[in-house]
Amino acid sequence: MSLGFLYLSQEDVVAAGAANMEVCVDAIEETFSLLDKGDYIMGGADGNSHGCMLYPPKESPFPGMPLAGPDRRFMAMPAYLGGSFQMAGVKCYGSNRENVSRGLPRSILMITLMDKETGAPVSFMSGNLISSMRTGAVPGVGARHLANPDSEVVAIIGCGVIGRSCLRGILAAMPGIKQVNIYDPYAGERVAEQIKGEYPDLFNVLVCNSVEEAVWGTDIINVATSGDVTPMIEYKWLKPGALLSFPASIRLSEDLVAKSTQVADNFIMHKEWIDEGKVICNGDIYANKERFIKEVDDVAAYWQFAVDKGELKFEDIKELGAIVNGKVKGRTSHDEIIVFGQGGMPIEDVAWSTVVYHRAVEKYLGVYLPVWESYYDL
């Protein structure tokens, strides 16, 4: 029996509609519903692992071994997702900030979809756009279920690929937005012009000179920065009823977590990061507070601090999937401040790449590549 798979280049993925954020937000919303129902599998002993990460060493006696550097890592993220998707898959990527100087994106991603019964490859496709779209769709789903319906102003802190994708996700879910505040000391003006071109009906796009200026009086705040500088958000800057969306590392004032409602995309995954950070800090997270925050690289670090101080109980952290399914109420008042922590999950990659794959098949896109004409068995 012959075996093959559909190869989809970046151009094929784009032609299949991978940049359609409205459809992507709906697909990721279903993904969270399935997550809550348990119709999924991810890696790790409990099936909730973000993935397997390889970090190069700082030094090595072996010639040619890659060495540690900014944003340098290799990762594989496997998952199965049920519902309307019924697909297994794995996203693999390498990341290195020095790629930019080579004319490449920081991360280069590929996605393999596999038949859930046989494990045979179904499709192998370019994954950069799919990954950035699914990441941006998550704040969109969060905004749909957690933001005040009358929200009009969104702040985007960090205007890289992920920050811009998150804005698209939020705008797709919240059509009443009239103003975008952006803060990015490197790309603010350029991205402002890009936003105005893509969304000419927006009332205003404001380039801000600080995080505080961007956040002040804002209904929805999304932070997606990378590198060594992590922005700080102060509680006193926040408008009552604000939704804070964190798909990336963040620094929070001590009172912000205590005075807000906490929502996670997948709390078990965040708890694993907390436990790993404790091990790295030999259990004493307060003596090594800055290191703990850096190692966990997630709002979960602040959840742990709040729990230890008696300001929060882990069981009070809500799950977005349960909110999507109506099991838990998301927002309970107009003035409630909500923190939505996100870590990114491979089920999201499987979801959106499966949709893109089926659309590519419908449009006769891609190239069919054989694995074998007949199986060669020794």
pLDDT tens sequence across 312-351? 999 999 999 999 999 999 999 999 999 999 999 999 999 9
Instruction: Tell me the per-residue pLDDT of 16-70, one tens digit each, with 9 for 90 and over.
Output: 999 999 999 999 999 999 999 999 999 998 899 999 999 999 999 999 999 999 8
Nearest CA to 182 out of 193, 169, 197, 198 is that of 193
Q: Examine the pLDDT at 308 and tell me if it is beyond 90.
A: yes
Question: 250 and 152, same structural domain?
Answer: yes
* DSSP H or E stretch at residue 140: helix 128-146
In the chain, how many domains are there? 2
**CA 316 remoteness from chain centre:** 22
Distance CA 304, CA 314 (A): 8
pLDDT of residue 229: 66
Q: Which of 73-82, 113-122, 159-168, 188-197 has the lowest mean pLDDT?
A: 188-197
Band of pLDDT at residue 163, cut at 50, 70 and 90: very high
pLDDT of residue 156: 95
Q: What is the mean pLDDT of the chain?
A: 95
In a domain, 141, yes or no: no
Q: How far apart are the first and last CA of the chain?
A: 16
Question: 357 and 331, same structural domain?
Answer: no
Name the 3-class secondary structure at 93. Answer: strand
Question: 116 and 25, same structural domain?
Answer: yes
The predicted model gives 203-211 an average pLDDT of: 91
pLDDT of residue 294: 85
pLDDT of residue 250: 85
pLDDT of residue 307: 94
pLDDT of residue 64: 95
pLDDT of residue 254: 83
Nearest CA to 254 out of 220, 301, 208, 297 is that of 301
In a domain, 137, yes or no: no
Structure tokens at 258: 């205590």
Distance CA 43, CA 34 (A): 16
In a domain, 311, yes or no: yes
In CATH, what number is assigned to the domain containing residue 209?
A: 3.40.50.720
In a domain, 142, yes or no: no
HSE, side-chain direction, 13 A CA sphere, residue 28: 35
Question: 61 and 157, same structural domain?
Answer: no
Residue with tokens 């307060």: 286
Residue numbers of the domain that contains 21: 3-131+347-372
In a domain, 138, yes or no: no
pLDDT of residue 227: 63
Question: 271 and 200, same structural domain?
Answer: yes
Question: 311 and 241, same structural domain?
Answer: yes
Instruction: Tell me the per-residue pLDDT of 226-278, one tens digit each, with 9 for 90 and over.
Output: 766 678 899 999 999 999 999 988 889 889 999 999 999 999 999 999 999 99
pLDDT of residue 202: 79
In CATH, what number is assigned to the domain containing residue 47?
A: 3.30.1780.10
Question: 220 and 301, same structural domain?
Answer: yes
pLDDT of residue 225: 83
